[in-house]
Structure 1
């Protein structure tokens, strides 16, 4: 479905987005935020769910595409739909559950009922309508839907490029990310959702920012054993950040953990030895034990998919703009669907250690994002966000795109280049 023609951009994009910096007012301009919602979130592929969240016919998830509440649902034939969560009669939402399973969607205001495919099935007291009232004219409004590697995306646009073309070189990294199932399907097994008082682009930058890690996450590093701390001390080492096109980027922090099917003969890390012993005692052979243990820690990279989802080591991180100065973050832990309980427990403990509400990572990140939003209030019109780290020092990747060291701001420049293209379109 198409939305209304977008409003004009209220700023000079060439002045606000430069090759080495962006203007800080981009975090606080309300008129600009409203245009972003139209020209970006209503005009591209937006991630809405992983297939494991809607496993059966009738399974649904409530989420948003930009500011629009939507329902992601699997119909009786197994097809996935993304419907606007709005009754066609008087605009009430037709579903308020966060996730669940249902046979239909019924408006609580006047009782209009819709099938899982969005078709209007029933209207109470139909005798009150004229004979030419046609239910087929009033289905739930639906977005275009496509999937890749179990990731479900939706868009308002019918004339948009195919999802696989939009993802481009990022598909290779999505395939690598899904290997952490260790031969089992991956499954979203829990989530931690919170809001912070800051603009959505602050968080968009963070997942491709290794430069902050030894500063912001010092307490996390100190909580690790010696060998694990050394593994996560990746700034200044041989990692990289690559521009993947269309605003996507990948930050490789631990190169030896990029492909989880490789290096299976390496020694099992001390922190995972107890898990390996438990898996062996359950009857898994040595090859299985090594593959599962290696997958538990997740791959050694963060993949940013513009504009709203990151595949970050062992979890998904979704951002949702609420207002120009408020953003919701949803961290979703990934487990092995049908895999060993011991391995999945280990995944949950690792997730809690860093991403959980009492963990060593998320609270510190959120504090940093909030401070950025406060800081851009200082200085009036003379506030610039520098994105110049490694600029002029980059090489070219095999795909012919900019490639910086692991602490480079290459990924942020890629995101803002796409932001500028879409805002100018």
Structure 2
């Protein structure tokens, strides 16, 4: 087996590193593999970029990353959504250094080259110095060649041979529809005041954990204890028993996507979600006001304020959890940022969105720090070279626990690691595929 820095053109033995029941520690710790991921995973498949509500008007923009590539996601003057590479064609400096705003053009702070928000080079200071043969069109900003949106969620890929976005989403599309359609005729807005958290570990720990129902009873004991002070048999309380005996399940959806269903049932019956919500300090006054104003309709409005009790993960970087959108942003092989966006909805009483903000304060404040400590300690543990393997074998050989439907969706108990095994096969496929990645100019 050869290991390499991605610049060295050596070859990894991917079948050795990713096996059906285990993965090698280098998959998490090797710098060369990380650099290859930034090229092949975050370039070779559809990656979540932004939500349309973050750039609602022509000329609105926000800056972000595609792997390690700095990008600007925007609507141009005509309202078309584009993703420009945030790199001046002159000497490589970033042309936009603001998180978000509204601009018709971007001027590089280094030498003053100016580009329209369609990416065209429009102005070069003292252009005569380049001679008569200088062609502006040869120095336009690079762009992600394929950008598409599904119900407000914007994705992009550098792989022109990748399937279309709807094909890529597959069964995840139906679940995303269910998440959106909890709010009939309502417009979802992603709020800019996001939580940003950094942990000292590899990005894939976040993705592993999103479909891990095995850790909750142990990692989140303090959160469960807080909930127990209020009322039992509520959200997450099933983890105080044996979750294998509960009706929850985990699914591998294909294309690397995963799903944990914590809903008591997929129902539109008023109160179905609200009655499962664990207590949140400070919500009582808002609940009382909603009940006073809306009477029999109160359960309907309260349902829209609580989390969806869905964990939907769209490979490689988008997590839909409760009312929140979480985005995984790799910074280094051992450093990851997770950005957690709150969402509000239109056409509801103000108190509903206030309660949604209370929910936004809840798990990011009391649950995600537990997870990040685990990720950091996992990465630290994987620094031991003599202990090579990470086990992902829970549920292997127990076919009576699993169901494979006609669409290839595999379902099993929420504590089984079947979804992690599934997404690693997609990971390995992309790492070994003959990809041709390109930028548009």
Tell me the residue number matched to 1:172.
Answer: 174
Q: Residue deviations 1:295-332, cap 9 Å, x none?
A: 21122210111111111121111111111111111111
Instruction: Tell me the CA shift for residue 338 of structure 1.
Output: 5.3
After the TM superposition, which residues 247-262 of structure 1 pair with which residues of structure 2 at under 5 Å, given as runs?
247-256=256-265, 258-259=266-267, 262=268
Tell me the residue number matched to 2:436.
Answer: none
Instruction: Tell me the CA shift for residue 110 of structure 1.
Output: 1.4
SS at match of 2:301: helix
Mapped to 1, the partners of 2:354 and 2:383 lie a distance apart of 43
Tell me the residue number matched to 2:150.
Answer: 148
TM-score under structure 1 normalisation? Answer: 0.91
Residue correspondences, number: 412
Tell me the residue number matched to 1:23.
Answer: 24
Kept in 2, the 8 Å contact 1:182–1:295? The answer is: no
Instruction: Tell me the CA shift for residue 7 of structure 1.
Output: 7.0
Instruction: Tell me the CA shift for residue 364 of structure 1.
Output: 0.8
Mapped to 2, the partners of 1:307 and 1:198 lie a distance apart of 16
Mapped to 1, the partners of 2:17 and 2:262 lie a distance apart of 30
After the TM superposition, which residues 289-308 of structure 1 pair with which residues of structure 2 at under 5 Å, given as runs?
289-308=298-317
For residue 340 of structure 1, the aligned residue among 334, 344, 349 is 349
SS at match of 2:37: helix
Mapped to 1, the partners of 2:173 and 2:336 lie a distance apart of 27
Kept in 2, the 8 Å contact 1:58–1:102? The answer is: yes
Matched, 1:376 2:382: yes
Kept in 1, the 8 Å contact 2:273–2:306? The answer is: no
Instruction: Show structure 2 runs of 5+ residues with no match.
Output: 1-5, 434-441
SS at match of 1:206: helix
Instruction: Tell me the CA shift for residue 337 of structure 1.
Output: 3.7
Kept in 1, the 8 Å contact 2:47–2:316? The answer is: yes
For residue 385 of structure 1, the aligned residue among 366, 369, 390 is 390
Output the aligned Cα RMSD: 2.2
For residue 278 of structure 1, the aligned residue among 289, 292, 309 is 289
Instruction: Tell me the CA shift for residue 373 of structure 1.
Output: 0.4
Mapped to 2, the partners of 1:351 and 1:334 lie a distance apart of 9
Q: Which deviates more from structure 2 when the two are superposed, residues 263-272 or residues 42-51?
A: 263-272
For residue 201 of structure 1, the aligned residue among 189, 197, 204 is 204
After the TM superposition, which residues 44-83 of structure 1 pair with which residues of structure 2 at under 5 Å, given as runs?
44-83=45-84
Instruction: Show structure 1 runs of 5+ residues with no match.
Output: none
Kept in 2, the 8 Å contact 1:276–1:290? The answer is: no
Kept in 1, the 8 Å contact 2:22–2:389? The answer is: yes
SS at match of 1:400: coil
Mapped to 1, the partners of 2:91 and 2:299 lie a distance apart of 57
Instruction: Tell me the CA shift for residue 229 of structure 1.
Output: 3.8
Tell me the residue number matched to 2:437.
Answer: none
Kept in 2, the 8 Å contact 1:9–1:35? The answer is: no
After the TM superposition, which residues 289-328 of structure 1 pair with which residues of structure 2 at under 5 Å, given as runs?
289-328=298-337
Q: Residue deviations 1:66-125, cap 9 Å, x none?
A: 110000011121111001000111111111111222221111111111111111122222
